[in-house]
């Protein structure tokens, strides 16, 4: 009788050990799986594929085909021996709208478009305004996993352009530009469709100093 009791006890212990080992194996397996899934490959920085060095303008690879075509037009205008300043002003505004209001290709709400065309002294305030406004709800897409419907600009039409004085900071540009535009999107999601821009001269460059909704 004593021998049978001892045998039963050994079987019970073996079963417990097997269950414990099985639980440990499962715990290690799921732990490794969760650890592996939490490690994501760092996103590669967006590459610059073209530039106008003398003006400081750059073209990123993730811009839309429409924006890229406008950038090529800008290169043509600015590489002329005598720059058509009105054409330059129009393209600056078109490029700004095609980048700033195009949220579909933005990596996060800190990826503000069009800043290279904004008056340099205003850029920090402009970016803060954008993050608190139109960019506020843009979800991160650093790893290409975003599932969010965002606007894509397909056309920016110049409605009117006028050269006239404009005050900014404590200065006045007697030959500033006021430009009215209409913005068209791939799909109407309720975003801004009209705007008025004011551009001033900074040496040979034109920069946006004011945007009216």
Q: What is the pLDDT of residues 92-150, one digit of tens each?
A: 999 999 999 999 999 999 999 999 999 999 999 999 999 999 999 999 998 889 999 99
Q: For the chain, where are the E strands, in sequence order? A: 48-52, 57-60, 153-168, 171-185, 194-202, 205-212
For the stretch 111-116, contacts whose Cβ atoms lie closer than 8 Å and that sit 24 or more positions apart, written own/partner, are: 111/135, 111/138, 116/56, 116/57, 116/58
| Contact yes or no for 127/106 (Cβ under 8 A) | no
Which residues partner with 58 through β-bridges? 51
SS3 at position 176: strand
Do the bridges between strand 57-60 and strand 48-52 make them parallel or antiparallel, or are there none, so unpaired? Answer: antiparallel
Q: Give the residue among 51, 53, 42 at the shortest CA–CA distance from 107.
A: 42
Report which of 71, 74, 52, 53 is spatially closest to residue 62, judged by C-alpha positions.
Answer: 71
Higher pLDDT, 51 or 32: 51
Q: What is the distance of C-alpha 41 from the center of its chain?
A: 20
Residue among 13, 124, 15 at smallest CA distance from 5: 13
Q: Which pLDDT score, from 0 to 100, does residue 24 have?
A: 73
Helices 85-100 and 65-78, interaxial angle, to 10°? 160
pLDDT in tens, 157-185: 999 999 999 999 999 999 999 999 999 99
Dihedral angle of Cα 101, 67, 122, 108, to the nearest 10 degrees: 50
Tell me the C-alpha distance between 94 and 193, whole Å.
Answer: 13
């Amino acid at each position: 009788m004593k021998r049978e009791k001892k045998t039963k006890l050994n079987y019970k212990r073996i079963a417990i050990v097997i269950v414990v080992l099985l639980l440990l194996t499962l715990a290690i397996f799921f732990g490794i799986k969760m650890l592996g899934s939490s490690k994501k490959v760092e996103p590669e920085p967006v590459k610059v594929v073209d530039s106008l060095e003398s003006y400081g303008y750059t073209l990123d690879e993730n811009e839309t085909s429409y924006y890229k075509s406008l950038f090529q037009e800008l290169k043509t205008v600015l590489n002329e021996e005598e720059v058509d300043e009105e054409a330059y002003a129009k393209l600056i505004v078109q490029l700004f709208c095609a980048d700033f209001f195009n949220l579909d290709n933005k990596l996060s709400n800190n990826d503000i478009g069009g800043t290279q065309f904004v008056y340099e002294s205003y850029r920090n305030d402009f970016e803060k305004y954008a993050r608190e406004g139109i960019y506020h709800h843009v979800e991160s897409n650093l790893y290409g996993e975003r599932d969010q419907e965002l606007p894509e600009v397909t056309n920016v039409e110049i409605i009117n352009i006028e050269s006239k004085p404009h005050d900014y900071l404590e200065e006045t540009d007697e030959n500033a530009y006021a430009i009215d535009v209409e913005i068209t999107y791939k799909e109407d999601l309720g975003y801004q469709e009209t705007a008025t821009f004011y551009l001033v001269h900074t040496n040979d460059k034109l920069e946006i100093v004011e945007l009216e909704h």
